[in-house]
Amino acid sequence: MQRRTLGEFSVSAIGLGCMNLSHAYGTPPAAEAAEALLLRALDRGINFFDTAALYGFGANETLLGKVLKPHRSKIVLASKCGMTGVDGKRVIDGRPETLKRTCEESLQRLQTDVIDLYYLHRRDFAVPIEDSIGALSDLVRAGKIRSIGLSEASAATLRRAHAVHPIAALQSEYSLWTRNAELGTLDACRELGTAYVAFSPLARAFLTGTLRDPDAQLEAKDIRRQMPRFEAANYAKNLELLPGYLAIAQEVGCTPAQLALAWLLAKGEHIIPIFGTRQPEHLDDNAGAADVTLDPNTVARLDALINQRTVAGPRYNAATQLEIDTETYGD
């Protein structure tokens, strides 16, 4: 697979987000299936793996540590701090002492001496961003982590953080149906030499064309049930966008998922999408997007078809949005 630059690292143009192997999308797969999927990603040329202390309240890091330890020298390993599970609840805590303690716990679960890319998972509005990044900078100097990232952060926060320590990557949602990155963070990343790691590049399965009825297809504990775009009325409107999208995929000669990923790769050399899946065939399909090249006219057609004006519903509900430090379209 072709490579892209992330800080000091050369990473696969498409990475694997590992959250759904332990967290958030209903019942996790069996351990054997999850392990096989991680190894299959390596076989397909993926060397960039993304996890977090939050995912499965440590279970996801433990999984990656067990499976990827023999391949540690071949991969770029990313994890996150600042949002963890405490007494069974999700807690945002950006205090320096908490971040340092979380790092030590993550190193043990990941079975490694150093984490290549360590994100602040969420900005803690009760703690100056300079203090949180200062703590992560201490971890770099201590040899515990190699580089620092931000997650769900605005361009303004990125600039403040970068003034304390270079920020190697900013991770946030970016896809045809979530364009908030275009309000400032993409440009700020390009200016500062920061990679933009795009999660949910397939619009949480919408752009695969396989999720037609969320009420029937999603498990009760699937996080998408809490997202306004997946509510029945909004989703019915969003489904009206699919025929045109699927027609473009057919014209290009790729699958719908590959089209979504290829669009992101075409939007900038500093953009690195990470997808999540539990299905080996989906992993193979998604990895194949690295070989799909879109011409400018196709990119423009996709831009016009699915965007913040044509998609129904905000990406998060009001309570979740209050925790997010990203630019919004006011929806």
What is the DSSP-derived secondary structure letter of residue 28? P
Partner residues linked to 84 by β-bridges: 91
Determine the Cα–Cα distance for residues 139 and 104; give it in Å rounded to an integer: 10
In a domain? residue 217: no
105 burial type by CB count under 10 A (0-12 exposed, 13-18 middle, 19+ buried): middle
Which H/E stretch holds residue 197? Answer: strand 195-199
What is the DSSP-derived secondary structure letter of residue 208? G
* 55 flagged as catalytic: yes
In a domain? residue 131: yes
Query: Digits of tens for pLDDT over the chain (331 positions)?
Result: 999 999 999 999 999 999 999 988 989 999 999 999 999 999 999 999 999 999 999 999 999 999 999 999 999 999 999 999 888 889 999 999 999 999 999 999 999 999 999 999 999 999 999 999 999 999 999 999 999 999 999 999 999 999 999 999 999 999 999 999 999 999 999 999 999 999 999 999 999 999 999 999 999 999 999 999 999 999 999 999 999 999 999 999 999 999 999 999 999 999 999 999 999 999 999 999 999 999 999 999 999 999 999 999 999 998 899 999 999 986 4
pLDDT given at position 88: 83
In a domain? residue 27: yes
**Cβ atoms within 10 Å, residue 322:** 9
Per the structure, the complete domain to which residue 20 belongs is given by 3-201+257-292
pLDDT given at position 330: 64
Determine the Cα–Cα distance for residues 99 and 92; give it in Å rounded to an integer: 11
In a domain? residue 307: no
Determine the Cα–Cα distance for residues 211 and 227; give it in Å rounded to an integer: 14
In a domain? residue 172: yes
Write out the two tokens for 50: 């993304």
In a domain? residue 128: yes
Residues near 88 by beta carbon (within 8 Å), at least 6 away in sequence:
57
In a domain? residue 219: no
Rounded to 10°, the helix 256-266/242-252 angle is 80
Strand, coil or helix: 317:
coil
Q: Which of 55, 118, 235, 245 is catalytic?
A: 55
CATH number at residue 37: 3.20.20.100
In a domain? residue 330: no
3-state helix, strand, coil in the chain (%, to 5): 50, 20, 35
Cα angle for residues 304, 305, 310 (degrees, 5° grid): 100
pLDDT given at position 301: 98
How many domains does one find in the chain?
1
Residues near 206 by beta carbon (within 8 Å), at least 6 away in sequence:
177, 229, 238
pLDDT given at position 331: 43
Measured in degrees and rounded to the nearest 5, phi and psi for residue 202 equal -100, 20
Residues near 136 by beta carbon (within 8 Å), at least 6 away in sequence:
81, 99, 118, 120, 145, 148, 165
